[in-house]
Amino acid sequence: MAIFDLTTSNYVSARQGHSSTRLMLPSLGVVVGGGFCIVDQTPFKAREQQSQLQLCAREVYAATRAQQEFSARLQLCLLSAQAQQLWAKEAEFRAFLQSAQGILSSGGGGGGGGGTPGAAHLSLSLEDFQLLPERERGRIQAAWQKWRAADAKRAEVEKQRRKEEAEASRKRQEAQRCRREEARKALLAILAARPRDIALLQASVEDAELAGLTELDGEVAQAILSLRRLQEAQSLLEQAVAVSQFHDLQEAISRATVAGLKSEWLEKAQDEIVRIQGVLSAEEAEKRRKAEVERMRQLEEEAKRKLAEERERKRKEEEDRARKGQVQIIAADLDKLKNEVKTSQYTDKVFPPPKMGAKVSSYKIMRASEVCKTGVKLMVDGSDANDIKQGELGDCWFLSAVACIAGRKDLLKQLFSYTDEDKGLYVVRFYKNGKFQDVVVDDFFPTKYDRM
Residue numbers annotated as active site: 396
CB 230 within 8 A of CB 261: yes
Number of Cβ within a 10 Å radius of residue 312: 10
